Structure 1
Amino acid sequence: MELTGGRGSGGRGSGRRDRRWRDGGREDRRGAGRRRRTLLAALITTCLVVPLSAAARPTVPAPDPARLGRVTATTLDAAYAANRANAAEASRMAADHGDSGRADVERAMADDPSRQLLAFDGRGAGRATEVFGDLARADRIGVLIPGSDTGLDTYGRFRAAAEALHRQLAHEAPGTPTAVVAWLGYETPGTVSTTVMTTDRADEAAPELREFIGRLRVVTGEDAQVALVCHSYGSVVCARAASGLDVEDLVVVGSPGTGVDSAADLDTPARIWAGRGAGDWVADVPHLRADLFGTTVGFGTDPMSPAYGARRFAAGSGGHSDYFTPGSVALANLARIVLGETSEVGRD
């Protein structure tokens, strides 16, 4: 039986029905087109709206390398003091400029003699590297690499993650000399920005991370075991820096992808780990990579995919910001990886 009736198969009534079907099909197509255009407009808006800072930043001088000298195990305390002095100067300038929020953050860094600032730069969004534990004597060291929207204004949450990991290391292996380094050593992208969808910021950060790990080895010596713990966009940074890095483990958590198709493509002898909480919205991000107008957008294969080839570890039921929550499955497993207790790591 013909489904598209005409004069010879049902007369005028059938013809009217056929026209309605055809008109309905055109309406469906127009509706689908409108939905696609709306989705595209929303996507473009999301990608192009870049948050503006609340206030212009004062012109803060760059850190003076001569003030720090070459950092070694014996000069760590002097380096910490010099960077607290840098933070104090930046705090005064921020206060004079009327930026009380930034001034408070920097003053807290400067005024507490227990703060171990291995690096500080108050320019722009700001950068800082802070140590928890005795770095010169540590046998096991975790280096945290943050994701998007991390700067001095939001430094407290990043610092809290590093503190939590350091406490967990002490809980898992009491008596083992450990340290955690919070490395905010690059300009992170905004969560709502074009930069968060490309590797551009990671490409800029990679040489700096490689240089930092090299300088870290001057302090710790070659026997210390180092693990990179890379959160969200930080996993892209770690992936771009991976080749040639002197680390034993590279861990990605809440990763949108690393910009390569497999762990083997990272070209590193380090063990590659991946974990993601059941409530992490990153699971819904399309794991694609495409060239748009000469720019590569997206980060490719999901590191949690079996095809990627990472060692998957259990990260519990938490969301994107919950990996360093005290008492969580994710934090316990991250500590075991840093400690080299690979057989104790819960697998996903």
Structure 2
Amino acid sequence: MAPRPPSRLPLTGRTPTSRARGARTLLAALVIAAVAVPVSGAARPTAVPAPAPAALAPLRAATPEALARRYAANRGSILAAERMATGHGDRRRAAALRAFADPARHFLSFDGRDGGRGAEVFGDLSTARRIAVLVPGAGISVDAYGRLRAGAVALRRQLGDGSAVIGWLGYETPAMVGRAAVTTGRAEEAAPGLRAFLGELHRARPAARTSLLCHSYGSVVCAEAAPGLDVADIVLYGSPGTGVGDVSALHTPATVWAGRGGDDWIAGVPHVQLRLPFCTIGFGTDPVSPEFGARRFEAGDGGHSDYLKPGSVSLRSLARIVSGGTGTGTGSGGGRHA
């Protein structure tokens, strides 16, 4: 279990300056731990070889026929990666890929190289009027995919007919412990791929209402990709910050939402940025603070991994936002409002 967030401890007798100094000291300690603590098996996911995926024609329209061709092509790429993982002797990766290749599962994209990338569809994309794209945070990979899939399934069930959910694992997520988790480097690398994916999705389903749901470090990815995205909502939850000071800096016409569960340890992360000679550490303004300017939504009392838990307050709020509702939230945000 993570320790109770420091922000909940009493600060009696401390001035704003001393609090800021304390936050910077704590962040510095987190950085030292992130940089110095070895991560067991951190290099492992990228060490498994995989072939180049099949070349895909652009998805110009999300018709049943076009989607069937796309899903079949990616299934072929998944099976080719499974065979190579088996030959390499990695039974864990091979088993994960065999599950991915189940004919009942549908991937809009897949690339088994460099640890694996993919975008899985839950629901019928050809008829969906509402689409949610989930962008995961640290620790999600082909080998550790269950949490992203479970959340996508739960949201799709909550939304009901006329909806589709896409789990977008389109980048190498940082490890839970490591320098990459406290800098924007991975997000900067991921943003062009997310923009390209959402652009293709919009061209294929231009009439659908699309929302971008960004968990934890995924909110940093979404912030990097935000300028010019044609989405109705950008939803930040369990976010350590985005790397920008407020909603206006995202340069988006979308409605920006933010929520945090009452037992989410991310509340204890200092919302500051430290500019070091080799990188910038930390992500700045707390997205649920009034200073950031996002619309707040009710996230209940859950922890960091509970936002898409079946029956939760946060899941109901997220489904309302994707459906064009209010999320029962408060506060102001940029762009067009739902």
The residue aligned with 1:113 is: 103
Residue 329 of structure 1 and its aligned partner are, at CA, apart by 0.1
Residue 43 of structure 1 and its aligned partner are, at CA, apart by 4.6
CA contact (8 A) 1:210 1:241 kept: yes
* 2:34 is the counterpart of 1:46: yes
- Describe the superposition over 1:18-38 as per-residue Cα deviations: whole angstroms up to 9, x where unpaired: xxxxxxxxxxxxxxxxxx999
| Residues paired across the two proteins, number | 303
Task: Tell me the amino acid that sits aligned with residue 73 of structure 1.
Answer: A
Matches within 5 A, 1:1-348: 43-51=31-39, 52=41, 53-54=43-44, 57-65=47-55, 68-71=56-59, 72-74=61-63, 75-110=66-101, 112-170=102-160, 175=161, 177-221=162-206, 223-342=207-326, 345-347=328-330
Are the structure 2 counterparts of residues 54 and 268 from structure 1 closer, same or farther at C-alpha, using a change threshold of 3 Å?
closer
What CA RMSD, in Å, does the superposition of the two structures yield over aligned residues?
Answer: 2.0
Task: Tell me the amino acid that sits aligned with residue 312 of structure 2.
Answer: S
Are the structure 2 counterparts of residues 136 and 40 from structure 1 closer, same or farther at C-alpha, using a change threshold of 3 Å?
closer
Higher relative contact order (CA 8 A, sep 6+): 2
Distance 2:253 2:181 in 1: 28
Task: Tell me the amino acid that sits aligned with residue 345 of structure 1.
Answer: T
- Describe the superposition over 1:293-327 as per-residue Cα deviations: whole angstroms up to 9, x where unpaired: 14111100000111110001110111000001000
Distance 2:249 2:69 in 1: 40
Distance 1:303 1:161 in 2: 22
Residue 97 of structure 1 and its aligned partner are, at CA, apart by 1.2
Distance 1:144 1:295 in 2: 27
Are the structure 2 counterparts of residues 56 and 312 from structure 1 closer, same or farther at C-alpha, using a change threshold of 3 Å?
closer
The residue aligned with 1:27 is: none
After superposing on structure 2, the runs of 4+ consecutive aligned residues of structure 1 that deviate more than 2 Å are: 36-43, 45-59, 344-348
Larger helix percent? 1
Structure ID, larger Rg: 1
Residue 146 of structure 1 and its aligned partner are, at CA, apart by 0.3
Residue 44 of structure 1 and its aligned partner are, at CA, apart by 1.6
Q: Which runs of 5+ in 1 are unaligned?
A: 1-35
Are the structure 2 counterparts of residues 195 and 210 from structure 1 closer, same or farther at C-alpha, using a change threshold of 3 Å?
same
Distance 2:27 2:263 in 1: 24
CA contact (8 A) 1:244 1:268 kept: yes
With the length of structure 2 as denominator, give the TM-score of the two structures.
0.85
Residue 95 of structure 1 and its aligned partner are, at CA, apart by 1.4
CA contact (8 A) 1:57 1:94 kept: no
Residue 150 of structure 1 and its aligned partner are, at CA, apart by 1.0
Q: Which runs of 5+ in 2 are unaligned?
A: 1-23, 332-338
Distance 1:189 1:55 in 2: 12
- Describe the superposition over 1:192-246 as per-residue Cα deviations: whole angstroms up to 9, x where unpaired: 111111111111111111111110012212x211100000000000001110000
Distance 2:49 2:78 in 1: 14
CA contact (8 A) 1:55 1:99 kept: no
With the length of structure 1 as denominator, give the TM-score of the two structures.
0.83
Identity of aligned residues (%): 54
